[in-house]
Chains A and B, each alone.
Chain A
Amino acid sequence: MEDEQIISLFWARDERAIEELAHRHGGLCRAMALRMLGSFQDAEECLSDALMAAWNSIPPRRPEKLSAYLARLTRNQALKRRRDSERLKRGGGELNLAYEELDECLPDPESTEQCWEQRELSAALERFLRGLPAAERRLFLRRYWGCESLRELAAANGWSESKVKSMLFRTRKKLRDYLIKEGFACECGFPDAGHE
């Protein structure tokens, strides 16, 4: 079924939309979640959550690129899971949870600022990526958006892994310089931006 037909099912609140979306774009998103989290079960749950998020957001949304839309929702779920797992590693006791629950009740003067900064950062990132040569941009996105391994990227392009590594290093360095120029307090950027 074509994307437009699937979106029409969502707008008609027809539950077949979820099945059709999973059938058409689920494989790619599941594979991406698996690369990000390394667990089949977590990847499956991410995809399920992303499909539910699509059901809850279409309508009112009408995505232009359905594959990208579902991939973004899946990636959000994967990032959230990673954050949760990091939090649990730091100590997932009830005190932590209680603090977090109370935190939601407080008007946070920083949250608007953080939200604004996040949007600005995203806009800067977009400008930076659009200014890159296409091959460099795709490589960067596949590595840091889609979390593909160096081995996969090397095989996909017919390059050696060291070439991929070195291209990514140069792009990260360019990004670091760009973000500093744009006024972002780039204390680290990507962790190894300064070392090849």
Chain B
Amino acid sequence: MNADSLMQAMNELPEDLIAEALETERQRVPVKRVLRTLLIAAVIAVFFSVTAYAAGGNLGSITSSARMGRHWSTLDVLPKAERMLGLGMTVPERFESGFVFADMDITYSDLRDPDGAIVKTYPEFYANYTRGDQTLILNVQAWERAPGGAGWLEREQDGTTLYCHSFTYKVVPVDYRETEEDTARKETGELMIAWGGDEVETFPMCFVVFERGGAAYALFSYDGLAMDELCAMAGEIIRMNE
């Protein structure tokens, strides 16, 4: 018997064992909020990384997926998250607007080329804030370059450039077929599609991105928050960094 025999024998394993490994690879996360965060992580990954990878401009063919690494419900362990991320960061306990820290995660994102091969895997930090029924999300990862393309606008806040983007975020099941209207709206930056939801859902999404100390901060909400409010909260983080 040799390693070939073992590799071959493994192919005869029952489907439930194989499915367990495959499902872990897909990382289907049952909790809706977590799933939504992961789908958003996938979108952010494309925003930040696609320009670096797809120099030819073939943005539509780059995909990404994200999976949960660690989850914490206290800011006390922020140093641990910073070690995992490899970055120092500023994470407020509360914003003047009334949003209060709820929990935080480290996720891992894979950026895949059109053949499905992973070209990059990297960690990201997420902190969730709540104000009544509304949720605000703060994402931090290593800064590579300013996001750009259709739909992005620049603003100044406390001496720092903010990159802002408003669009419709559409979560769809994996077997969803993109319509012609979807494609047209994606090209103008009005729509972003994330595959992996249980059903088709759309959200108005606002993004504000800026750089501080080598870290890319992204503040966003899918609860209809106004861009001005997001920019003001970005200003708070910028001032805390001074």
Q: B27 to chain A: closest CB distance in Å? A: 7
Using CB atoms, name the residue of chain B closest to A69.
B15
Assess the A141–B115 pair: CB atoms within 8 A: no
Count of residues in B whose CB is under 8 Å from the partner chain: 43
A13 at the interface (CB under 8 A from B): no
Q: Which of A100-145 contact B (CB under 8 A)?
A: 117-119, 121-122, 125-126, 129-130, 137-138, 141-142, 144-145
Total interface residues on A, CB under 8 Å, equals: 55
Which of B1, B4, B8, B20 is close to A138, meaning CB atoms less than 8 Å apart?
Answer: B20
- Tell me whether B116 and A125 are in contact (CB under 8 A): no
Whether B106 pairs with A119 at a CB distance below 8 angstroms is no
Question: In whole Å, how far is B238's beta carbon from the nearest beta carbon of chain A?
Answer: 29
Mark interface residues in B31-63 (1 if CB within 8 Å of A CB, else 0).
000000000000000000000000000000000
Cα distance, A144 to B4, chains bound together (Å): 11
What is the 8 Å Cβ interface bit string for chain B, positions 1-39, against chain A (1 contact, 0 not)?
111111111111111111111101111000000000000
B165 at the interface (CB under 8 A from A): no
Minimum distance in angstroms from A131 CB to a CB of chain B: 12
Report the separation of the CA atoms of residues A137 and B21 in the bound assembly, to the nearest whole angstrom. 8
B153 within 8 A of A: no
Residues on A with C-beta less than 8 A from B3 are 188-191
CB distance from B50 to the nearest CB of A (A): 18
B94 at interface (Cβ–Cβ under 8 A)? Answer: no
Task: Verify A63–B15 contact, CB threshold 8 A.
Answer: yes
CB distance B7 to A79 under 8 Å?
yes
Q: Smallest CB-CB separation from B113: which chain A residue?
A: A40
Q: In the complex, A137 Cα to B10 Cα: how many Å?
A: 13
Which single member of B2, B15, B20, B106 contacts A141 (CB below 8 Å)? B20
Q: How far is the CA of A122 from the CA of B3 in the complex (A)?
A: 13
A156 touches B8 (CB 8 A): no
B70 lies within 8 A of chain A by Cβ: yes
Which residues of chain B are near A152, meaning CB under 8 Å?
110, 118, 121
Chain A interface, DSSP helix/strand/loop, else mixed: helix
Binary per-residue interface labels of chain B (98-131) against chain A in the complex, 1 for a CB within 8 Å, 0 otherwise: 0000000010101010011110011100000000
Residues of B within 8 A of A121 (CB): 1, 5-6, 9
Q: How far is the CB of B87 from chain A (nearest CB, A)?
A: 16
With both beta carbons as reference points, the residue of chain A lying nearest to B69 in the complex is identified as A158
Is B200 in the interface zone, CB < 8 Å from A? Answer: no
- Counting CB contacts under 8 A, is B175 at the interface? yes
Q: Give Cα A38 to B73, complex, Å.
A: 41
> Shortest beta-carbon distance, A166 to chain B, in Å?
19
B residues sitting closer than 8 Å to A (CB atoms) are 1-22, 24-27, 67, 69-70, 84, 106, 108, 110, 112, 115-118, 121-123, 174-175
User: Chain A interface (Cβ within 8 Å of chain B)?
Assistant: 1, 23-24, 27-28, 30-31, 34, 40, 43-44, 63-65, 67-69, 71-72, 75-76, 79, 83, 117-119, 121-122, 125-126, 129-130, 137-138, 141-142, 144-146, 148, 151-152, 155-158, 179, 184-191
